[in-house]
Structure 1
Amino acid sequence: MKTNIDYLENKSVVVIGAGISGCTLALYLAKKGYKVQVYEKRMNLINNNEIKKRTVGMSISERGITTLKDLDLYDSYKSLLVPKYGRAVHLRSGQVYSQFYGANREAIYTVNRKHFNFYLMDACLKTGNVEFFYGHKLEKINVDDKKLTFITNTNYSIDDQDNSCSTEKVVKYEYLFGCDGTFSCVRQRLVDQGLVDATLTTLDYRFKEIYIPPRNGEYVLDPNYVHIWNIAELLFVALPDGKKGFNGTLFYTESSEVNKLKDNEKLFEFVQENCQFLSFIDKDQFIQEFNSNPESKISEVKCNNWNYQNQILLVGDAAHAMPPFYAMGMNTCIESVRVFAHLIDEFGGDISKAISHFTERRIIDTEAMKAMANRNYKKLRKCHNKDFDEKWNQAHEAMKQSNGEYETEYFQVAFTNKPFSQIVEKYGQGVDVEENGLPLISH
């Protein structure tokens, strides 16, 4: 294995991970005049289909939109967003409940993860202050000498373990940001050295991506809703992709019958009986996608301190990965980046001070959002119930009649920038329209 030493004479800001959080942070720093190096394990993100197959469909709401506006990106990107005004809950009988998110047709928006990621990359490159290095897998962090050791390999994919054509590269850093996601190498290297205390918990949920294609060149379902089939032990959520199709995600537990059925015919019959979205998908396509698309697990990160010595900081999912059941993971991540960027301004450009205060400033809100995400899964499991549907609509009508005095928890999460911790604090003080379900919260 060859070794290449790359020492930079100037102070260097290094970001690990070229995903959405990493690119958002790199862009903020670049706009502030910092020179940023972004290192990414995968070699070719543009042609990497794993981005599509291994991620739950994404939605962007007010917190994410506020970040785009803060970066002067929203006006040039908004035409690509697909509005969703509420849930369309499909029952076994074929009846559909419409459950609006807001009182005045407020919408959350579908985001194509891959396209959004590339859009942020392009914005980074246009600043002239960001360099991307692909095929770099972080191997070691030497915190004493501020050196990173990478294994470089042009063939890396998400699971690639082949180092036969690798070289070793050492890079010096002044500030290091771990934006490398739920399974963060930066976090793990720090944990291995006893420098941070963090746990990665795998939850009892699994999911697979199943695509609902157009029919005769058109959407087969109303594209302005999140479509939900929620019967028995299965949960299927479909988001419009902006290209006349739907990106669907089938959720189930580890003990689900889905995991036990090996016969394709029986698998299809079981899913069709219990989660009837299959009327919109060709049978052979479903079987092919179910068998070929990887099964992904849902994990949660618990980390009490994201900072080491005011020089290394975990950001985004590397610090606070959460379940996807509130569609707020990406919004929370880039909101966290915005909070950190504003801390830099608050401390007159001093990154060290911003790092030192970031965990304390932000962790109370990310923990609150994780709690709401876990709780929302139970609501999703109840949303096909007639009583829940009636209470949901009653709550939104009451919100509308209150002229802004009261809002639902969901409204405050999705359509305001109110700190998550304040929303959770008021949750128990709301006017309950459904026991443990959908309170109204004072504005």
Structure 2
Amino acid sequence: MENKKVTIAGAGLVGSLLACYMAKKGHDVKVYERRPDMRKTTIDGGRSINLALSNRGWKALEGVGVADEVRKMAIPMYGRVMHSREGELTNQPYGLNGEAIYSVSRGGLNALLMDEAEKHSNVSIDFDQQCTRVNLETAEASFKSYSTKEITKVEGDLLFGTDGAFSAVRSSMVKTDRFNYSQQYIEHGYKELSIPANADGTHKMEKEALHIWPRGSYMLIALPNPDGSFTCTLFFANEGETSFETVNTLEKARAFFKEHFADALELMTNFDEEWENNPVSSLVIIRCFPWSKNGKVALLGDASHAIVPFYGQGMNSGFEDCTVLEEIMSQHGDDWNTILKEFETQRKPDADAIADLAMRNFVEMRDLTGNADFLLRKKIEAKFSRNNPGKWIPLYSMVTFSDIRYSDALKEGQRQDRIMEEVMAMPDIHQNWEDPKVETKILELLGKY
């Protein structure tokens, strides 16, 4: 493979990982990041949303040899702990065989990947650089320094836009003929809060779990951190009767939490300060196509397929972009037109599928995790899967604990829905769910659907 001059716009999670992959292939890589270097300056808080690292992400990290380092900063979460309004707890394991997803700090992981990228002599990262212009024909890009206002024109063979949901590289592509683009804000936003550690540094709740307070149209979640704290996120409608619009003072917020999240509020010793100071942030879904132009410019990660965070797959799907691209590069040598065409054609259906799955999981988390029918369905599925491992992989396991394509997982999940609707309609299913007739019924329906 011929060495190329590669420009990457965006040194976030996907951009930093992509730089590692490109450097390993021997390319000369220049990365330009709009923000200051997070390793040297404090980035404004309140927007992190802790990340849930799962199989697809681990595979990508192993591909550049950093998985072991990341494991040192990650906390396994073996299941959900649901908190009722009365403070009662219900546990639901994530996997059938003790699998876990891993809570990891966005900033900590990003810094580690930047460090790893810079270990390569053929990688440089420049910060405070705003992408102001892109030439889609030549892969030339211009970057303006926030401090000096100087504009740098960067020539290269390839330009990758990994610059997030509001990508400057994509904005150049939007203006071209037959480029499809949609941007959808969901009705919910989020505010980040926290539960500090105990005085001795231990966690105030079960450490190895993702905590959920499901409340129908809204929810609170909490993910553990290595320092004993939890990062909490309230997902709440932006407008309406019960929303950020109406719960608009600290007094109202305290009263609301006391009524709906009392056990969490008791642990949130910084609630007042965080409610007042942490912003309400929006959640957006980005879909576009094509993802490449002229065999020279391409989009990866949120720049091409931003999704909502409810399946914990935003980072994982962006990391999987890197592994899929690397696999295709290995097949086609220097034929970048073929590489980028094949990449976008393969990944687009999967990006659309995980966007749909993420919204589906939002409804599941906020509405269903406290629902008796839902919990029973999960028990039946888990039992059947254990007894018939080749015939049934639960949808969550397909998405989170395998590298089955998202588009295939979505189709199989829809088939499973049709089967389980009939199973849950069986007479007295709550009393008879362990009856062998239930397993027989599922086997029969697998043949039908």
Identify whether the pair has TM-score above 0.5, normalized to the shorter chain. Answer: yes
Q: How far off is 1:48 after superposition?
A: 4.6
User: What are the superposed Cα offsets for residues 194-228 of structure 1, whole Å, 9 maximum, x if unpaired?
Assistant: 57332222111100110111122210110111000
Aligned: 1:300 with 2:285? yes
Of residues 12, 34, 39, the one that matches 1:41 is: 34
2:310 alignment partner, SS class: coil
Q: What runs of 5+ residues in structure 2 fail to find an aligned partner?
A: 425-441
Instruction: Read off the aligned partner of 2:208 and give its amino acid letter.
Output: N
In structure 1, the partner of 2:174 is: 191
Per the TM alignment, residue 178 of structure 1 is displaced from its structure 2 partner at its CA by: 0.2
**1:177-188 correspondence to structure 2 within 5 Å:** 177-188=160-171
Q: Which residue of structure 2 lines up, in the alignment, with residue 210 of structure 1? A: 193
2:437 match: none
Instruction: Provide the C-alpha distance between the structure 2 equivalents of 1:436 and 1:306, rounded to a whole number of angstroms.
Output: 40
**Aligned equivalents of 1:368, 1:279: Cα separation in 2:** 39
Name the residue aligned to 2:259.
273
Aligned letter for 1:261? V
CA–CA separation in structure 1 for the residues paired with 2:397 and 2:126:
40
CA distance in 2, matches of 1:135, 1:437: 57
| Structure-2 change in CA distance of 1:43 and 1:353 (3 Å) | same
Deviations 1:73-130 (A, max 9, x none): 2233323221101100000122111011112211111111111111111111112111
CA contact (8 A) 2:210 2:221 kept: yes
Q: How far does the alpha carbon of each residue in 1:269-292 deviate from its partner, in whole angstroms, 9 at most, with x for none?
A: 01221233212112xx21211221
In the alignment, structure 1 residue 312 sits paired with structure 2 residue 305: no
Q: Does 1:360 align with 2:345?
A: yes
Structure 2 counterpart of 1:114? 107
Q: How does 1:354-433 map to 2 (within 5 A)?
A: 354-380=339-365, 381-430=367-416
Gap change, CA 1:116 and 1:187, over 3 Å in 2: same
What is the distance in 2 between the residues matched to 1:173 and 1:167? 19
RMSD: 2.3
Q: Distance in 2 between matches of 1:49 and 1:325?
A: 27
Alpha-carbon spacing, 1:233–1:372, altered in 2? closer, same or farther (3 Å): closer
TM-superposed CA distance for 1:241, in Å, is: 1.1
- Residue type of the alignment partner of 1:196: F
Residue 98 and residue 147 in structure 1: after superposition, are their counterparts in 2 closer, same or farther (change >3 A)?
same
- 1-structure distance, mates of 2:30, 2:216: 48
In 2, the alpha carbon distance for the partners of 1:47 and 1:207 equals 27
Match of 1:83 in 2: 76
* Equivalent residue for 1:25, pick from 13, 18, 28: 18
Q: How does 1:326-345 map to 2 (within 5 A)?
A: 326-345=311-330
Structure 2 contact 137–294 (Cα < 8 Å) conserved? no
Q: Could you tell me how far apart the structure 1 residues matched to 2:272 and 2:59 are?
A: 40
For 1:250, which of 210, 234, 238 is the aligned residue? 234
1:88–1:436 Cα change, 3 Å: farther
Q: Are the structure 2 counterparts of residues 94 and 259 from structure 1 closer, same or farther at C-alpha, using a change threshold of 3 Å?
A: same
Matched-pair contact (CA < 8 Å) for 1:99–1:393: no
Count of matched residue pairs: 421
CA distance in 1, matches of 2:423, 2:410: 13
Displacement of 1:51 in angstroms is 6.6
Equivalent residue in structure 2 for 1:166, among 149, 152, 156: 149
The alpha carbon displacement at 1:266 in A equals 2.0
Are 1:227 and 2:214 counterparts?
no
Contact 2:138 2:157 in 1 (8 A): no
Aligned partner of 1:347 among 328, 332, 337: 332
1:263/1:114 CA distance change after superposition, 3 Å: closer
State the alpha-carbon separation in 2 of the partners of residues 32 and 91 from structure 1.
51
CA distance in structure 1 between the aligned counterparts of 2:290 and 2:398, rounded to whole angstroms = 27
Q: Which amino acid aligns with 1:170?
A: K
CA distance, structure 2, for counterparts of residue 198 and residue 273 of structure 1: 42
Partners of 1:82 and 1:224 within 8 A in 2: yes
Distance 1:76 1:44, change over 3 A: closer
Secondary structure of the 1:190 match is helix
Distance verdict in 2 for CA 1:168–1:193, change over 3 Å: farther
The one-character-per-residue Cα deviations of 1:220-253 (angstroms, maximum 9, x if unpaired) are: 1101110001125431110001211111111001
Which residue matches 2:435?
A: none
**1:161-198 Cα deviation digits (max 9, x unpaired):** xxxx5222222122100000111111112213557332
1:51–1:114 Cα contact (<8 Å) kept: no
- Percent of residue pairs identical: 29
Distance in 2 of aligned mates of 1:436 and 1:423: 20
* Partner Cα distance (1:11, 1:382) in 2: 50
Shift of 1:35: 0.4
8 Å CA contact retained: 1:231, 1:275: no
Give the partner amino acid of 2:361: N
Structure-2 change in CA distance of 1:244 and 1:395 (3 Å): same
Partner SS for 2:327: helix
Report the alpha carbon displacement of residue 354 of structure 1 after superposing the two structures with TM: 1.0
Q: Secondary structure at the match of 2:312?
A: coil
Residue 286 (structure 1) aligns with? 271
Aligned to 1:162: none
